[in-house]
Amino acid sequence: MEQSVSGGVALATAEDGRRPVHAVIIDDHDVVHAGVQAWCAEADPPISFVGNYLEPQEFVRQYPGASPDVDVVVFDLQIDGNKPSFDTLRALCQSGHRVVVYSHITADEIILRCLDLGAITYLAKSEGRAHLIEAIHSASANTPYMGPRMARALLNDNAAGRPQLSEREKEVLVAWFQTESKELVGRRLYIAPSTVRTHLQRARAKYAAIGRPAPTKSALLARAMEDGILSLSDLV
């Protein structure tokens, strides 16, 4: 059931001119909703929860696509004890939502699959308040946050010192450096802009996991050139 969250945080932050991060949580346990909101109540920058959902279908009915009213979706991968909802996660990401998966599952293969499906960050519920707040703030800026479990999963998946980018990730990187927008990359490669974003997020996360962060386009370009993914001749 969707429950509106009062605007106490938003009202307080309006006085200093800052817009809070607008988040929703999808989780089948009320105690998790209450705990997450309590953790985020004094976040800086502020985080305002604009909706609570016990089932993902209720959220999707209200927000079938990306909305300026929702910056970040905090999503429990397992609802009602069922198997991981990969199809739901894929649909949320493909519709343009920025998703932080928040789950008790810590298996590397589950984490990596969620990142492949488009999640910006995967956070284990055991990782605590500070990590969750940082993950929500980073996701609102469309940037992956590297929590301990996500970092370990990516490290286990990568060769030391150099990320194992897939051929598609490399192809997307080169096309992005040669164009001005993700929309143009999508047209060139016949994929959706949301898929382009997923590949770029995964590449950034892989670089961050090995201690070579690339938070900006120019930094990612420098990393790609260092690793021989492209050369100056590819840019002219």
Answer yes or no: do 137 and 85 share one domain: yes
- Residue 2 covered by a domain: no
pLDDT at 61: 93
Domain hosting 135: range is 8-156
Q: What is the mean pLDDT of residues 200-227?
A: 86
Q: Which of 40-49, 118-127, 202-211 has the lowest mean pLDDT?
A: 202-211
Answer yes or no: do 164 and 113 share one domain: no
pLDDT at 1: 36
- Whether the predicted model's global pTM rises above the 0.75 cut: no
- Residue 1 covered by a domain: no
Q: How many CB atoms lie within 10 A of CB 1?
A: 8
- In this model, does residue 21 exceed pLDDT 60? yes
Q: What is the mean pLDDT of residues 25-40?
A: 94
Answer yes or no: do 52 and 149 share one domain: yes
Answer yes or no: do 210 and 96 share one domain: no
pLDDT at 3: 40
- Residue 3 covered by a domain: no
Answer yes or no: do 167 and 141 share one domain: no
Answer yes or no: do 19 and 128 share one domain: yes
Answer yes or no: do 109 and 212 share one domain: no
Answer yes or no: do 12 and 128 share one domain: yes
Structurally, how many domains does the chain consist of? Answer: 2
- In this model, does residue 2 exceed pLDDT 50? no
Last residue of a domain, one of 121, 156, 191: 156
- In this model, does residue 22 exceed pLDDT 70? yes
Q: Which of 16-20, 66-70, 111-115, 200-204 has the lowest mean pLDDT?
A: 16-20
Last residue of a domain, one of 156, 189, 209: 156
CATH number for the domain spanning 220: value is 1.10.10.10
Last residue of a domain, one of 100, 123, 156: 156
CATH number for the domain spanning 43: value is 3.40.50.2300
Answer yes or no: do 140 and 165 share one domain: no
- Residue 90 covered by a domain: yes
Provide the residue type at 110 as one letter.
I
Answer yes or no: do 165 and 184 share one domain: yes
Instruction: Give tens-digit pLDDT for 142-175.
Output: 888 989 999 888 877 754 467 788 888 989 999 9
**Three-state DSSP string of the chain:** CCECCCCHHHHHHHCCCCCCEEEEEECCCHHHHHHHHHHHCCCCCCEEEEEEECCHHHHHHHCCCCCCCCCEEEECCCCCCCCCCHHHHHHHHHCCCCEEEEECCCCHHHHHHHHHHCCCEEEEHHHCHHHHHHHHHHHHCCCCCCCHHHHHHHHHHCECCECCCCHHHHHHHHHHHHCCCHHHHHHHHCCCHHHHHHHHHHHHHHHHHCCCCCCCHHHHHHHHHHCCCCCHHHHC
pLDDT at 158: 59
Answer yes or no: do 44 and 140 share one domain: yes
pLDDT at 5: 37
pLDDT at 161: 62
Answer yes or no: do 141 and 33 share one domain: yes
Confidence bin at 231 (pLDDT 50/70/90): confident
